[in-house]
């Protein structure tokens, strides 16, 4: 089912926005628990979350009445909402390029979803200056966990060549359409998910991303860090281990899965918040 059909069914605005990621980034910066424990530094830690293809109308804090997002709604209540924020592009790769470089699409290198025959997408040039490189030079530990889409393994556009100390990713955005892949990439080395071989659906990539994100925060809580967390949820395929709490609703299965994916992500954001408060 196409996203536009989902929007029609749920009464969701068709305008895609990256407001969630900026909302989360800004709210996190205001939370005292995010300050690095190292007393010699007053620099805030930064967690920047991107939800792939999430519309702002999918969240309770922007008016959604059916999909449950209590953790994100709490962030909006404690922080702020952004009502005039736009994605850098209508499609994946150029929007991520804009996010990493701060350039608009008239000046950014990636202006479309260009695929390579080998794994990966059109890589951003080695000369690209990313926000991760800037923060790394300022003493931040930098990590990306999620979907990259700006260069394949060991290419000039790979995340570890673009300012990230640690990466755990889908590197090719085409592979990110599958939530039960046979492998991911850790520091641009293949990370097998052997339980997903032969089309089995055991290791859900989103859950692994959350576990890796929690681990990253634990490892770097005593120093300034920048964690870029570009979740693939709720981009299609609409795959989820279970469709709770929407199982009993009289709706098409793809719509129940879509809602369950968002609520699952909301709960995982809650886990990250609780870890920050307890660290």
Q: What is the pLDDT of residue 41?
A: 55
Between 10-14, 212-216, 247-251, 272-276, the lowest mean confidence (pLDDT) is in 10-14
Which residue intervals of 57-101 are DSSP H helices? 70-78, 92-101
- Residues 170-199, buried b or exposed e (16+ Cβ, 10 A)? bbbbebbeebbbbebbeebeeeebeebeee
Q: Which residues contact 153 (CB under 8 A, 6 or more apart)?
A: 119, 120, 171, 185, 188, 189, 190
Percentage of residues in the chain having pLDDT higher than 70: 85
Model pTM score = 0.86
Average pLDDT rounded to a whole number, residues 140-164: 97
User: Domains of the chain (ranges plus CATH)?
Assistant: 3-278 (3.40.720.10)
In whole angstroms, what is the distance from residue 30 CA to residue 60 CA? 21
- pLDDT value for 122: 92
What would the mean pLDDT of 100-119 be, rounded to a whole number? Answer: 88
Q: Taking all residues of the chain, what is their mean pLDDT, rounded to a whole number?
A: 86
State residue 6's pLDDT score.
Answer: 40
pLDDT per position as a tens digit, 161-180: 999 999 999 999 999 999 99
- Please tell me the predicted confidence (pLDDT) of residue 117: 74
Could you give the CA distance from residue 230 to residue 250 in angstroms, rounded to a whole number? 31
Residue 33 — very low, low, confident or very high, per pLDDT cuts 50/70/90? very low
* Better-predicted residue by pLDDT, 115 or 72: 72
The H or E element containing residue 183 is strand 183-186
pLDDT at 24 over 90: no
- Contact by Cβ (8 Å): 62, 243: no
What is the enclosing helix (H) or strand (E) of 205? helix 205-220
Residue 87 has a pLDDT of 83
Q: How confident is the model at residue 4 (pLDDT cuts 50, 70, 90)?
A: very low
């Amino acid at each position: 089912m196409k996203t536009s059909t989902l929007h029609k069914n749920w009464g969701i605005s068709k305008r895609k926005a990256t407001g969630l990621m900026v909302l989360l980034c800004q709210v996190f910066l205001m939370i005292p628990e995010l300050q690095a424990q190292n007393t010699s530094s007053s620099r805030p830690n930064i967690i920047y979350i991107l939800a792939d293809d999430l519309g702002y109308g999918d969240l309770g804090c922007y008016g959604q009445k059916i999909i449950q997002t209590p953790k994100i709604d709490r962030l909006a209540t404690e922080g702020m909402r952004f009502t005039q924020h736009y994605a850098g592009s209508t499609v994946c790769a150029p929007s991520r390029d804009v996010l990493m470089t701060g350039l608009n699409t008239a000046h950014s290198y990636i202006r479309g979803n260009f695929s390579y025959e080998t794994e990966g997408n059109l890589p951003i040039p080695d000369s690209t200056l990313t926000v991760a490189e800037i923060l790394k030079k300022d003493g931040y530990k930098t990590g990306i966990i999620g979907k990259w889409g700006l260069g394949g393994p060991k290419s000039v556009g790979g995340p570890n060549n673009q300012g990230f100390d640690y990466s755990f990713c889908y590197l090719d955005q085409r592979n990110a359409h599958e939530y039960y892949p046979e492998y991911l990439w850790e520091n641009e080395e293949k990370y097998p998910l052997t339980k997903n071989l032969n089309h089995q659906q055991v290791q859900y990539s989103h859950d692994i991303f959350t576990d890796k994100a929690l681990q990253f925060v634990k490892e770097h809580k005593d120093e300034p860090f920048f964690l870029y967390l570009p979740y693939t949820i709720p981009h299609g395929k609409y795959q989820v281990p279970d469709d709770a709490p929407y199982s009993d609703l009289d709706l098409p299965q793809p719509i129940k899965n879509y809602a369950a994916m968002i609520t699952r992500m909301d709960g995982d954001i809650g886990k990250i918040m609780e870890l920050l408060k307890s660290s």
